[in-house]
Structure 1
C-alpha cells in the first residue's frame, strides 16, 4: 500500500493577489470604455403580441433584483425584449386603460420565449387575460421557440437535486442527444459530441469562451485533472447544444455549452455544504476482491459556501462562492496486454495492486452587478482555481511513475450592457491566465516492459518522462449588438478580438526511458528486463530556447438574423468568419541541420517517397493564416398548429475549430530540447535497425548518464540522434458540417422530441511517420508489414510530419422526453435515447498515426469512442414528508475495439480489424444507476427560508463494474498463461469512472 501526496506549490503566480489586481484593472477599463454592445447567446429573449385598442408598452421586471427592461408595442401589436438575464420575471403591461401585472414566470438560459396577450377577448374565451390588475401566465401560454438547434437546458433544480459523486456541473450535459460526459478510470472527466474528441468542445460562461488553445481537453483546466472547471454553487443553469448552434458560437465543432453564473438579489441568501465518503462507505474494488485484500484507505471530502445579497437595493448586488475538494483515490496497477501478475518475475509482482493518489482543489468566484439606470447593467466577476495533484492512473504505471501537477487558472470579466427601445449593446472585456505544469515525482531511469508483437506496455516503472509547463494568458474584447427595429427581425452582429500569449515548456524524457521486449532474452530465460532494444532521452540542442511563446491574435465577426417570415415559420440565418494568427508557426524557419538531414544527398530514401518533404520545410515567409473560415449557419422551425404546440425544425451549419498549439509547438521544441532515440542491436528479430550512429550494439554502460553522453558524441551536433518534426506549410483548420431534422410536441408540462442529425468533421490534425526505406517505400515489398522506424536519416531519430486528414462522421437518431417540475406537479423527468452510427479513419482521440504511410491508407471503421446505443434519464420527485428523491440512469452498449493484424504471408498486408468488446460490465455494455435522498428541515425560527438539509447519495446503486481494459490485439485468438484473454475480451480488472457502490453523506444549511 502506498499513499501519494503532492506538496509542491507554484512559484510563478501570486494567486489571489494577482486576481485582485486583475479585477481592479478590468474594473477600471470597464468604467473607461464607452462602447456599445449586444444580447449574447447566454441571455434569454421574450417576444409576442399585445392585442389592444390604442398604444401599449411592455416592461419586464426581474423579480429578485429589480432590473427593468422595456419595449414599445408596435402598430401590429408585436413587442420584442431581445436580451434578458435568465431569471424570474413579471411583466408590467401599460395600455390606455391602465397597467396590469402578470404573475411570475421563469426564463431560462438561451430561451427564446413567446407570450401573447389579448385584451379584446371575452373573459370566457380560453386565451383571454384575467380581469382587473393581474394576468395569469400559465405554462401553456409561455412558448419556447428552439429553432433548428438540438440540445437541452439543465435547470437549477437538476443541478441541485441529481446525484453525483463529483461537483462538476457538466455531469448532466449527457442528457442532450449525442453528448457524452465521460469520466475515465483516473477520475478525469471530459465532454464529447458526435464522433469528435474533446478538443472540439467549447463552453461559454457568461458569454465568454473557456477554450483551451494549448491542450487537448477543449476547455482550460480540464486536461489531466480530476477537478471541476467552475464552482457548481456559482452556476445558475446552462444549455447544451449538440448540433446547429447559431453564428454567435465560435471555436467549436461539436458540443457548445452556454452557462450563466449566479448573481446577488435584493435579499441576503447563503448556502454551505459538506460531502463526505471513505473506504467504509464503498464496496471493494475488483482488484481488492481478486487479491483477497482489505480495502485501501480512501477519502473524498468536498465542501463550500456561497453568499449573495444587496449592496444597494435594486441597484447593486454581490455574490461570492468557494468550493474545496480533498481526495485520496484508489488506483489499480495491473499488467497490460492481458498478462497475469504471476507471469512476471517475483521482484515485479509487489508493484501491482491498489494504491492511493491525492488531489486537492480550491475554487473561488466573485461577482458584482450594478444598474445605475434602467437601461444599463454593469457586471464585474472573477474566478480563481488552484489544484495540486498526483498524476498516477489505473493501468500499467507503477507508483514511481507518478507526477506532481500544478493547475492554476485566473479569469476576470467586465461587462456593460446598454439597452434602448429597439437595440441592445453588450460590451465585454475579459482576462485569463492559465497554467498547467506536471513534474516527475522521482528522477531516475524509466523502464517500459513491453509485449513482443504489439509493443503494448506490460508494466512501466522508474521516473516519468512527463515534464511540462504550458498555458495561455491574455485579453479578450468582445462587442455584440442586437437590433429589433425591423418588423419580424431580430438582427445580431458581433465582433471579437483576442490577444493571447501561448507558452509551452516541454522537457519530456528528462528521465531516460528504456524499452524492453520481455519476450526476447538473448541471455536465455523467459523474461527480459535487462537488455533494452531502445532508449529515448531528452537533451538540449543548444540551438534554440526550449520555452516556446506565441503572441496569438484572434478575430471573429458574425451576423445573425432570426426572421419571423410568417406567424408559423421562423428562419435563423447566420454567417460568421474567424481568423487566427499564430506567429510561432507562421514565422518558423526550419533549422539548417533539419533541412540538411532530409536532403537528397543525406537521405535519398525520400527521392521515391509518396510525399514531398519540401511541403513541410518552412523559410519563415511561406506560411499564411487560414482565411477561409466562412461559416454559414441556417436553421428553421415551422409551427404545425396555431398554438405552436407541434413543430418541425432543422438546419445546416459549418463550424470551424482550431489547430491545437500543443501540436504546432512540437516543431519548435524538437529543435531546442529534443528526444534522442537510439536503437540497440540485440539480435531481437522484431526490433532491428541498420547499424549507424543511432543504431549500435548494446553495452550496459548505455544505462548510465555517461553512456548516454557517449551515444550523443557519436552523432552529429545540435539535435543529432533526435526526432525531426515538420508540419505542412499549407495547414488547414479542422471543421464540421452539421445537418439536422426533427419534430417537437408539447402536451402541457410534457414535451416530446424526435430527430435525426448528421455531423461530419474533416481536416483533423495528425502526425505521420515520414521515414522511408531506401527504395522510398513505407512497407517492404513481399514482406511482413512493419513501419520503417529503423530507417531514419543518418545521425537522427525518426521523421514525423504533421498534416490534416483525420475525418469522422456520426449519424444519430434520438428520442427525447421532458416533463417539467411545477409546485402543482412536483416531479420532473428528462430522458434521452440516442442511436448512433459513427465512423472514423483513425482510432478515436489518437493523433500519432504511425502505422501507414498516409491517412488515406487507414480504413474507415466504426468509431471506438462512440457507443451505438445510449440512454440517459434523470428525474426527481418531492414526497409529502419533506423528502426529495432523485435518480440518474445511464445505459449504453459496449465499445468497439480496433487493432492491427500484420499478415506474415502473401499478400503481406497490414489490416485494421474491429470487434465489439465482450461487454464492459457485469450485466450490460455500460450501466450506472445513481440515487439521492434529500431531507429538508425548516428552521423558520431563524428566517422564513432557513433550512437544514441532510442528503444521502448512492453512486452505482447496483455495484456495476464497467471495465475499461480490453485486449486490443487481433492476433490474440487463443488464451494462454501469459495472455489469458482474447481479442475483445476483458484483459484486466480496472473499472471506469463509476466507482464501486459508494455512499456519500452530505449536510447543508441555507437561508
Structure 2
C-alpha cells in the first residue's frame, strides 16, 4: 500500500541476488580474603582484563551471540556498494549502522538473541525494511535485499519470514526458539530434555524429568545425570554446556552444574558436529542456553504446576505384584519479572522457582530367608554347603538334616549384623523375595537475577547471578536404617559479568568474568555407629576412623542366589570452583569476519573427609566342597560362619584434599564470504587443558618405567633372578619432581574447516571436518583418590578349595581387621606402604591426550516458503579415549597376569611356592608377607604389588557413522513442526563412565581382559540404530484470527479461542545387552583380570556364548519381561575352577537389546486474554501419554556354575520409564 511521503509497499520476501564471484590469574582464590589480598586480587583482575583486551583472548565468550549477514543488490542482480544498513533491537531500541562493502555485503556480528529490524537505504532506491528478524545464538541470519528503484522516502516492507536455511555455516545444529521452549511439555520442566529433539542425540540415564531424585529410581540426586547425553557419537557428559556464553561444567566428571528454569530460558541451541574453533573441551557437541533479559516493556509470569497420584497410571510391576499406585505429590511454582530500570538504558530480569516432590519407587531385591539365617539351606535352588572344619569337607548336617548348620556354629556377630541389616522377605522363595514401594523425593529451589546496562550504542554491560539448591530425601528401601542412602544435595552458584564494546560497527570486543561454585554432599543412611555393639575388636576400630563410622556393609556373591549386598551409602563433601576469564575480538575486514581469542580457567576441587565405610565381602569358598564346578557353597552360609573372603575399610581423608589445575585455550576463526554462494569457515585452536595438582602435594603417581626400590629377586617359578620394575612416587619428590599428576601437553592444535555452498536459492550444500579434545575431567581422577589420602586397609583370606593348601583365615566377622587400620600417611608414605595393599589406584604419567575427529556432508532444501529438509552424513572417530570404569572412576588394571600364562591352569597358578618377598614385605595380612605365595603372583608384571589400577587411562577408541535427517515446518507464526530421524552405528572398546546411572545397569559392557583391548571392541553400550524425535506446537484453528469460528465473540468466542497442542515424541531402538558372571576368588581374578567396583577389581567377567544359538525369543515385551527377555540357553558360565580364560561373549551383543523407547509427551493449553496485555493460561500435560512401559534391563548375571544358570537370569523386574503422569498448570502472564 502506497502512502504520501514515507510510502509503504508490501512485496514478497526478496530472493537471494544472483551474481558471479599464562599460568593462573586466580592461583589460590578462596572464600575468605583479607583486605590486602582482596586489593591485590582486584588490581590483578583489572590488569588481566586489560591484557585480555589487548591479546584478544577468548574461547567461550562470544558463543552467546548470533549475527545478521546479507547482500544488497539492484533489480538486475548487481551488488550495491555503499548502501547504509541500520539494525535495531526491537526490545531495547539499541541500533547499529554499517555500510555495504565493495561486493555489496554487510555483517552485524556479536548480537544478542532476539528480534530486530533491518533497514537499508541508498540514493535512487526505495528504503528496504524487514521487521521481526529473529537472531539466534551461534547462527548467522541472512537478510538479502533486492532494492527497488524509487525515492528513498518510499519504503518496501517485507512481511514474510526469511527462508529457514542455514546458508553460512557447515555446522550441524538445531535452535529451539523461546516460544518452543515455553510451550513444549517437559517433565519436571527440565529444559535439557529438549536435546532429545536434535538429530544425533541419545539421552542416557538420569536425564529424563525431574533433576531432583534423578538416580536409582528416585533414590538420590546426582548432578552427573544433568548433562548425561551422548551427542554426535561422543559419550555421556563429554559435551559442553554454555549459559550466556560461559561454560557451566564442573570438574567432577565434567558434570553440568545446574539446569536453568524453563521460564528464564530465551533460546536453546545445540551443535552436534563441526563446532567452531572458539569451542573446546568437548567430544560430542556444544549446547548454548541464553537466558532472558529485560526490555523496554515490563513482562512477567506467575505459575504453578501440580501432579498427584490420583491422576497417574501405575508402574507395570506394581500392578503385577498387587501394589497400588505409589504416592506422588509434585508442586512446581514460581514467577518471573523483567523490564526497564531506565528506558533504553538499564534493564532487569528476575526469576524464581521452587519444586517440592514426594514420590515412591518399586524395589525388587533378594534377601536371606529366616530359614537361611537359622542355618537351614534346604530350600529348593540353594546349593549344598560343606563343613571345611571336618576331614574330607563333608556336607553340613545338624540332627540328621543335611545342608543345615547347627545354631551353635553360627557366628553371633554375623547374626547381629544380618538382623540389623536385612528385612524379612515379603514374597515366597529365595530369589527376588523382597518387593516394596519406597518413598523418595526432595526439594529444588532456583533463583536467577540479571541486569543489562547500555552505556551507549557502543558499550553494553550485563551481570547475572544464579543460585540452585537441589536436595533429595533419605532413601531406605529395607526400612532398617542401616543401609541405603542418606540425604544428598547439589548447590550451585554462578556469577557472570560481561562487557561488549563496539569500537566501530566492524570491530567488537567482548569480555567475560565468571565464577561457578558447586557444592555436593552425600550422607550414608547411618553415621556415628557404635561399633562396640559387635564386640571389642570392632569397638577398637572407631578411634582409627577419620570419618564417622558407618554400619558394616556386606557384599554377598559367588553363588546363584545373588543375595543383595547391604551398601552403607556414600559420604562426601565436594566443593568445586571454576573461575573463568575470557575475551574475544571480532573484526570484519572485507569478505572476512575474523575472531581472535582465548580464555583461562582456574579449576579447584576440594574434597573433605569421605567414607569411613567398613566392608565385609563373602563368597561361596568358605562352605564349598572343592574347587570343581559342582563344589557348591553359599555366600550367606559363609557369612553365618563368620568367615569373609576379604574385608576392606577406608578410614577417610584427614583434612580433605585440595586439587586444582589451570587450563588455557586460544583460537583464530575466519568466516570468509568467498562468493555470494560460497562461505568458508576456517579455524585453528590451541589448548593446554591442565593437569591436577594437590595444594599440599598429597598425591602419588605410579611409574611402571622406574626400577623398584626392592631391586631384583630370585623367582622360584622361572628359576631366574629378575629385576623388579614399578615404583610409587610422591609428587614433588626425586622420583617425580612435578607437582602435577601427569605431563602438561603443549602441542594440542585442533583445526576446523567448513564449506557452505548455495547451489540455488533453495538448496545449500555443506561439508566440514574438525578435531577436538575431550574434557580432561570426564573421570573422577582427583588427588583425593590417592592411596596416601584414602589409605585403604584390606585383609584377604585364602581357602583350600582355591589353592590346594590349608585355609589361611586371618580376618573374621568378629575381628575383621586383626592388624589394625592403615592411617593416611600423606607425605610420610614410602614405597613399602604400597607393597601390602590388595588394590591401589593412581595416575600413570605419560597418558596421551584423547582427541576426536568429526566430519559431515549435508544438503538442505527449502520446501515451499516455510519448510526445510536436511539430510546429512555425520561421523566421528575417537582416539586415546578414557577407558570406562565402574561408576565414575575410569581405570584399567596394569598388573594383570599376561595372557600367555593362562594355559598353565588354575591349579598351577595358585600352587604355593616359597615367597621371595617373605621378610622384605611385612604388611600384616598381605599374601606378600607370608612364607609361601601363589606361583602366578610371581609371574605378574609387578609381582611386588597385587592389583594396580591406572586411573583415567587413555586407551580407548570409538567409531561413529550416522545418517541424520531433519524436517522443519513453520505455520506462519501459529505453530511449528520438527521431525528428526537418525540412523547410526557406534563401535567402541570403552563407554561412558556414567553408565551406572542407567536403569537396571548391572556391570554389562565392562572391560574384562586388561591386556587385550582388541577383544573389547564391539558395539557400544549406547549404540542406538534408530532414533526418531518429533516436536510440535500448533494453535488449533478455532476462534478469533483463525480459520474456523473467526466471527465468534463474547463468552463463546473466549471459549473456542486460544487453544494450542504441543508435544514431544521419542521413538528409538533399545541399547545392546551383555551378560556377566561373578568370578571373584578365581585364579584369574586373584591375578588381576577383569573389572569391579573401583578399588575392588576382579569381581566379574563375561561368559561364553553358545555358537549358532538364536538369542531372540518370540512374544510380546510383557511376556518376555517375566518369562525371559532372551534365550538364556545361549549363555554358559566359564568354569573358572578348571581353566584360566575369559568368556567369548563380545563386550556387547547387538542381536538382543533392551526394550525400545516409545514415549509421547503431550500438552493441551488454553490461553484466555484478560486485557490486551494480560493473559491466563491453563495447561494439561500428559507424560507417557499412552502409558507404554519401557522395561528395564533383564537380570544379566548368568551364574557361576557351568550348566547351572542363575534361575532369574534374563528376567526383568523394573520399568525404565515412569508410567503415565498428568500435570495441570496455571499461568498468569503479561
TM-score by shorter chain over 0.5: yes
Greater shift, 156-165 or 514-523, is seen at: 514-523
Asked if the contact 1:658/1:733 (under 8 Å) is kept, the reply is no
1:353 to 436, 442, 447: 436
* C-alpha displacement of 1:679: 2.1
Greater shift, 600-609 or 170-179, is seen at: 600-609
* C-alpha displacement of 1:551: 3.2
1:723 to 839, 859, 880: 839
TM-score (norm 2): 0.70
Asked if the contact 2:551/2:614 (under 8 Å) is kept, the reply is yes
Partner of 1:408: 491
Call closer, same or farther: CA 1:285–1:516 in 2, change over 3 Å.
farther
Equivalent residues in 2 for 1:954-993, closer than 5 Å: 954-969=1182-1197, 979-982=1207-1210, 987-992=1211-1216
Call closer, same or farther: CA 1:16–1:936 in 2, change over 3 Å.
farther
Partner of 1:423: 507
Indicate yes or no: 2:984 matched with 1:760: no
* C-alpha displacement of 1:447: 3.5
Partner of 2:587: 483
* C-alpha displacement of 1:26: 9.5
Greater shift, 99-108 or 417-426, is seen at: 99-108
Call closer, same or farther: CA 1:111–1:301 in 2, change over 3 Å.
same
* C-alpha displacement of 1:724: 2.2
RMSD over aligned CA atoms reads: 4.3
2:189 to 167, 173, 190: 167
The one-character-per-residue Cα deviations of 1:887-925 (angstroms, maximum 9, x if unpaired) are: 21111112111231264477944333343475644xxx2
Q: How many angstroms apart in 2 are the aligned matches of 1:838 and 1:239?
A: 24
Asked if the contact 2:552/2:614 (under 8 Å) is kept, the reply is yes
Partner of 2:573: 469
The one-character-per-residue Cα deviations of 1:431-454 (angstroms, maximum 9, x if unpaired) are: 121121212121343434444279
Aligned-partner SS, 1:40: helix
Q: How many angstroms apart in 1 are the aligned matches of 2:453 and 2:945?
A: 62
Q: How many angstroms apart in 1 are the aligned matches of 2:33 and 2:205?
A: 33
Partner of 2:1019: 862
Greater shift, 231-240 or 143-152, is seen at: 143-152
Indicate yes or no: 2:948 matched with 1:799: yes
Asked if the contact 1:681/1:689 (under 8 Å) is kept, the reply is no
Aligned-partner SS, 1:461: coil
Q: How many angstroms apart in 2 are the aligned matches of 1:689 and 1:401?
A: 39
Indicate yes or no: 2:327 matched with 1:297: yes
User: Structure 1: which 5+ residue stretches go unaligned?
Assistant: 1-12, 123-128, 222-227
Q: How many angstroms apart in 1 are the aligned matches of 2:579 and 2:822?
A: 46
Equivalent residues in 2 for 1:894-913, closer than 5 Å: 894-899=1070-1075, 900-901=1102-1103, 903-904=1134-1135, 908-913=1141-1146
The one-character-per-residue Cα deviations of 1:326-384 (angstroms, maximum 9, x if unpaired) are: 112322322379x9x99899954245321012221111111000111111111011111
The one-character-per-residue Cα deviations of 1:662-702 (angstroms, maximum 9, x if unpaired) are: 543257532122332222235565xx79999xx73453313
1:928 to 1159, 1164, 1183: 1159
Greater shift, 756-765 or 853-862, is seen at: 853-862
Indicate yes or no: 2:129 matched with 1:46: no
Asked if the contact 1:247/1:558 (under 8 Å) is kept, the reply is yes
Asked if the contact 1:602/1:794 (under 8 Å) is kept, the reply is no
Partner of 1:126: none
1:93 to 117, 120, 136: 120
Indicate yes or no: 2:371 matched with 1:262: no
Q: How many angstroms apart in 1 are the aligned matches of 2:355 and 2:492?
A: 16
Aligned-partner SS, 2:85: strand
Aligned-partner SS, 1:657: coil
Partner of 2:726: 613
Structure showing the higher strand proportion among its residues: 1
For this pair of structures, how many residues does the alignment match? 947
Partner of 1:631: 750
Call closer, same or farther: CA 1:949–1:450 in 2, change over 3 Å.
same
Call closer, same or farther: CA 1:275–1:918 in 2, change over 3 Å.
farther
Partner of 1:652: 769
Asked if the contact 2:233/2:960 (under 8 Å) is kept, the reply is yes
Call closer, same or farther: CA 1:973–1:749 in 2, change over 3 Å.
farther
1:702 to 795, 803, 815: 815
* C-alpha displacement of 1:120: 4.0
Greater shift, 527-536 or 251-260, is seen at: 527-536
* C-alpha displacement of 1:138: 2.4
1:562 to 633, 653, 671: 671
Partner of 2:109: 82
Asked if the contact 1:251/1:657 (under 8 Å) is kept, the reply is yes
> Who wins on radius of gyration, i.e. which is larger?
2
Aligned-partner SS, 2:1219: coil
Q: How many angstroms apart in 1 are the aligned matches of 2:910 and 2:1030?
A: 46
Partner of 1:225: none
Indicate yes or no: 2:460 matched with 1:377: yes
Aligned-partner SS, 2:594: strand
Call closer, same or farther: CA 1:396–1:742 in 2, change over 3 Å.
farther
Indicate yes or no: 2:687 matched with 1:571: no
* C-alpha displacement of 1:797: 5.8
Q: How many angstroms apart in 2 are the aligned matches of 1:90 and 1:498?
A: 37
Partner of 2:614: 512
Partner of 2:209: none
Call closer, same or farther: CA 1:710–1:59 in 2, change over 3 Å.
closer
Indicate yes or no: 2:1176 matched with 1:948: yes
The one-character-per-residue Cα deviations of 1:596-638 (angstroms, maximum 9, x if unpaired) are: 9884558979999999635988623365201121100111111
* C-alpha displacement of 1:107: 1.5
Call closer, same or farther: CA 1:421–1:130 in 2, change over 3 Å.
closer
Call closer, same or farther: CA 1:784–1:571 in 2, change over 3 Å.
farther
Aligned-partner SS, 2:192: helix
Partner of 1:10: none
1:114 to 115, 119, 142: 142
Call closer, same or farther: CA 1:82–1:453 in 2, change over 3 Å.
farther
Q: How many angstroms apart in 1 are the aligned matches of 2:478 and 2:670?
A: 51
Asked if the contact 1:415/1:428 (under 8 Å) is kept, the reply is yes
2:965 to 815, 818, 828: 815
Asked if the contact 2:785/2:842 (under 8 Å) is kept, the reply is no
The one-character-per-residue Cα deviations of 1:773-818 (angstroms, maximum 9, x if unpaired) are: 5x99674634599999995989976321233202121111121111
TM-score (norm 1): 0.85
* C-alpha displacement of 1:283: 1.4
Partner of 1:105: 133
* C-alpha displacement of 1:723: 2.9
Call closer, same or farther: CA 1:27–1:817 in 2, change over 3 Å.
farther
Q: How many angstroms apart in 2 are the aligned matches of 1:989 and 1:608?
A: 55
Aligned-partner SS, 1:613: strand
Partner of 1:9: none
Partner of 2:390: none
Asked if the contact 2:553/2:615 (under 8 Å) is kept, the reply is yes
Q: How many angstroms apart in 2 are the aligned matches of 1:448 and 1:699?
A: 13
Greater shift, 146-155 or 369-378, is seen at: 146-155
Asked if the contact 2:311/2:1222 (under 8 Å) is kept, the reply is yes
Asked if the contact 1:514/1:532 (under 8 Å) is kept, the reply is no
Aligned-partner SS, 2:115: strand
1:234 to 245, 260, 264: 264
Greater shift, 189-198 or 420-429, is seen at: 189-198
Q: How many angstroms apart in 2 are the aligned matches of 1:758 and 1:54?
A: 41
* C-alpha displacement of 1:58: 1.2
* C-alpha displacement of 1:867: 1.2
Q: How many angstroms apart in 1 are the aligned matches of 2:789 and 2:647?
A: 16
Q: How many angstroms apart in 1 are the aligned matches of 2:909 and 2:366?
A: 22
Partner of 2:531: none
Call closer, same or farther: CA 1:106–1:776 in 2, change over 3 Å.
closer
Partner of 2:15: none
Partner of 1:840: 988
Call closer, same or farther: CA 1:55–1:564 in 2, change over 3 Å.
closer
